[in-house]
Amino acid sequence: MSREMIPIQIIGLKSHLQATVRALRAFGCVHIEDLAGLPEISAHALTLDQETARAQEELSLLLARINGLLDALNGPTSQKLPLPDNYIDEARAGVDELAPYLKDLLSQKEKLEAELTSLPRFEATLRKLLPILPSSAQAAGNRSIGILVSRDHMDVLDHISKRALELTHGQADVVSTDIDSSTRAMLIVFPEAFAQEIETTLGRENISRLRLPEELGDGSPDTALETLYHRMTAIPTEIAEINRKVAALSEQWSKKLSAWRAALQDEVEASSVFLKFGETDTSFILAGWVPTDQFEALKTTLRDIPAGSAFVEVLTMTPELRKRAPVVLQNPTIAKPFESLINMLALPRYGHVDPTRLMAFFLPLFFGMILGDVGYGTLALLISLGLLRRFEEGMTRDILLVLAMGSAWAILFGFLFGEAFGTLGEQLGLHPLWFDRANPSNVMGLLLMTIGIGAAHITLGLVIGVWEAIKDKSRSHLLERGGMLLGLIGLFLLVSILANLMPQGFKTLSIAFVIVGVVMLGASLGSLGIIMGPIEFLTLIGNILSYLRIAAIGLASVFLAKVANEMAGLVGNVVVGVILAVLIHALNLTLGMFSPTIHSLRLHYVEFFRKFYEGGGRRYEPFKSRL
């Protein structure tokens, strides 16, 4: 069932807007609506004053800077620490202190990584120049300049070579070699006194120079190569040192930054609520929902704000408002895990049937009937309870709890069917308290029993569906579900008469029920009802027959276990036979945990819920701190 809600509106003075919002946030039970979607309340959207808007922008900017720092430090995703009241000022000061230093470290690291990536490219070129390096390159007062030219422009090298010799009066040494299939390199060695003339000539010809990183200097290729090797050895050490400093900063700052981020995110989310408010000249207006049992507490909370600055009143629950009412499910502890399975489909609409408790009863029951084995049920229960320790909350924990409940039912049905790891139970002295479902003489009874369970389950769904249609005053749903129910009752009567369980005199009445039911079902479908009505009724019968899967899947598990038990005797080697048997039992256990769950869910989602359940409920999201 869902918690009862009442629609409210709160009106207050703009001068006390912040105080009211803080009080509502601390109260934590008001679901605030966007006034733009409520035509019942006429008000302009709230416009924040410049000071408040600027404060919000500063908080968002500070939050973005903290996110950037945490990404750079690779810190924890969440951390809870006690924060002082002035934590925003503390966070701003901390970010201003950390950001420049961290930025400088990361900039150094990025530069070093880029250098380490580029150095091997220069190494290949310098190594090719070494064999042709003239001895004059080592002479004091000489300078070396490298040139790279495409092989398609070899004439440029000849021109530069001649020009260099002319400018230096023959004192230059010019050598060249192929760098790769498309590029040729030239090295010019000349006295430093002619540097200006050589540079001018190269600039005039727009020649591509072999420019080495600053760290390698302007020396000869052999000197540059030696420096390059030294840098390639030193850079990883320098990067490691920067990483160590960053790790130390992460250890020092990450917890604080994470706590600040969580608090600031909460502040920013809280400030976003202003977009849902309305205003008049001097007042603000907000609308929303509060649980009925919290309404008086809300009134008390608003009274604590300066007298007369804010008050709450109840809105009339119109049909339109009722459709917007938020939903919060309330169920006993034992049924709580099944709420996650309901949420996977959709929340029920406010004021409509919450099927959680129905699923909490039937789904483990169906699971137990399918598995129906003391041995498998015990192992599944132990596995479920063992895994529960790893999950404190969430859907995975809920599914494990559902699996544990189903396993308990499987143990019970195991005793009723006399099964423990299939036929192994019989050899251990276990006898069925009800009947042996693997016995061929009992199979028909098992099939009829599952059809009966399906008929009862579907009928229950239709009865609930008719009641929901009456509450909603929905003519189409009443005709559809009422027609199905009436036709199904007629079909039950007809089957009972054919089985000699009821007098033949009821045959006419039963046929009339079926005909009237099909007509009502067709009437709900409009102009195509004359064709679709009978088809839908046949689909209804198919829904009931779908419950045969309870028997079929259970029997498949029984016979697979039987194969496993007989495997040890069929294989000549006992050890090999036991290993095969254990493997088959392990496979059967795995199938026995997943298959019953999936098919039990299908029987609810497809066959049962469609007879009455309509989702579309809006989740109850009270305005409160997330910390």
pLDDT in tens, 534-559: 999 999 999 999 999 999 999 999 99
Q: In 10 A of CB 219, how many CB atoms?
A: 16
Which of the given ranges, 35-44, 535-544, 561-570, has the highest pLDDT on average?
535-544
Rounded Cα distance, 493 and 237, in Å = 88
For the ranges 136-145, 189-198, 259-268, 579-588, the lowest mean pLDDT is seen at: 136-145
Produce one character per residue of 261-280: b if its CB has 16 or more CB atoms within 10 Å, e if not: bbbbbebeebbebbebbbbe
pLDDT value at residue 468: 92
- 431's tokens: 């006898």
Rounded Cα distance, 567 and 591, in Å? 19
Helix, strand or coil for residue 51?
helix
pLDDT at 427: 82
| pLDDT at residue 244, as a whole number | 93
Provide the pLDDT confidence category of residue 206 given band limits of 50, 70 and 90. low
Do residues 517 and 490 make contact, with C-beta atoms less than 8 angstroms apart? Answer: yes
Task: Locate the DSSP E strands across 396-547.
Answer: none
According to the model, what pLDDT value does residue 221 have?
67
| Pick from 13-22, 43-52, 474-483, 595-604: least confident | 43-52
Mean pLDDT of 72-88: 76
How far apart are alpha carbons 207 and 400 in whole angstroms? 73
C-alpha 184/C-alpha 543 separation (Å) is 81
Rounded to whole angstroms, the Cα distance separating 327 from 351 reads: 9
Q: Closest Cα partner for 410 from 244, 592, 251?
A: 592
Distances (CA, A) of 426 to 278, 416, 420, 565: 74, 13, 8, 11
CB of 318 closer than 8 Å to CB of 355: no
Using CA atoms, how far residue 20 sits from 298, 300, 598, in Å, is 11, 12, 49
The per-residue pLDDT for 372 is 94
**Local confidence band at 387 (pLDDT 50, 70, 90 cut-offs):** very high
Contact 453, 607 (CB under 8 A): no
Element of type H or E holding 592: helix 574-602
Per cent of the chain over pLDDT 70 is 91
- Quote the CA–CA distance of 570 and 568 in Å, as a whole number: 6
Q: What is the CATH number of domain 1-46+277-326+621-627?
A: 3.30.70.240
d(CA 340, CA 336): 8
Domain span(s) for CATH 3.30.70.240 in the chain: 1-46+277-326+621-627
Q: Which of 74-83, 155-164, 238-247, 335-344 has the lowest mean pLDDT?
A: 74-83
User: Is the separation of the CB atoms in 168 and 196 below 8 Å?
Assistant: no
Q: How confident is the model at residue 162 (pLDDT cuts 50, 70, 90)?
A: confident
pLDDT at 576: 79
Task: Please give the span between the terminal C-alpha atoms of the chain, in angstroms, as a whole number.
Answer: 28
Instruction: Name the more confident of 380 and 163.
Output: 380
Measured at the CA of 335, the angle between CA 332 and CA 338, to 5 degrees, comes to 145
CA-CA-CA-CA torsion for 184, 190, 195, 201, nearest 10 degrees? Answer: -40
Place of tokens 């000539």: 201
Q: What CATH code would you report for 134-219? A: 3.30.70.2750
pTM: 0.73
Q: Which pair of tokens denotes residue 90?
A: 């503390």
- 335 — pLDDT class (breaks 50, 70, 90): very high
Count other C-beta atoms under 10 Å from residue 609's C-beta: 23
DSSP 474: -
Domain(s) labelled CATH 3.30.70.2750 in the chain stretch across 134-219
- Chain region(s) in the chain for CATH 1.20.1460.20: 47-118+230-273
Identify the CA nearest to 283 among candidates 8, 7, 15.
15
How far, CA to CA in Å, does 74 sit from each of 70, 239, 548?
Answer: 6, 17, 54
The stretches of 130-220 forming alpha helices (DSSP H) are: 154-167, 195-205
Query: How much is the pLDDT for 469?
Result: 93
> How does DSSP classify residue 291?
E
Query: In the predicted model, what is the mean pLDDT of residues 54-66?
Result: 89
Tokens read off for 355: 């099927």
> Residue 210: which pLDDT band, with cuts at 50, 70 and 90?
low
pLDDT on residue 215: 60
Residue 591's pLDDT band (cuts 50, 70, 90): very high
Largest CA distance in the chain: 132
**Mean of pLDDT values over 459-482:** 93
Average pLDDT over residues 285-306: 90
Residue 182: its pLDDT value, please?
72
Which range (37-46, 69-78, 565-574) has the least confidence? Answer: 565-574
| Residue 356 contacts residue 331 (beta carbons within 8 Å) | yes
Pick the CATH number of 47-118+230-273 from 3.30.300.90, 3.50.50.60, 2.40.110.10, 1.20.1460.20: 1.20.1460.20
> d(Cα 488, Cα 520) in Å, to the nearest integer?
12
Q: Classify each residue of 547-567 as buried b or exposed e, where b means 16 or more C-beta atoms within 10 Å of its C-beta.
A: bebbbebbbbbbebbbbbbeb
The rounded distance, in Å, linking the Cα atoms of 314 and 301 is 16
Q: How many CA atoms lie within 13 A of 288 on its CB side?
A: 26
pLDDT, the chain, mean: 86
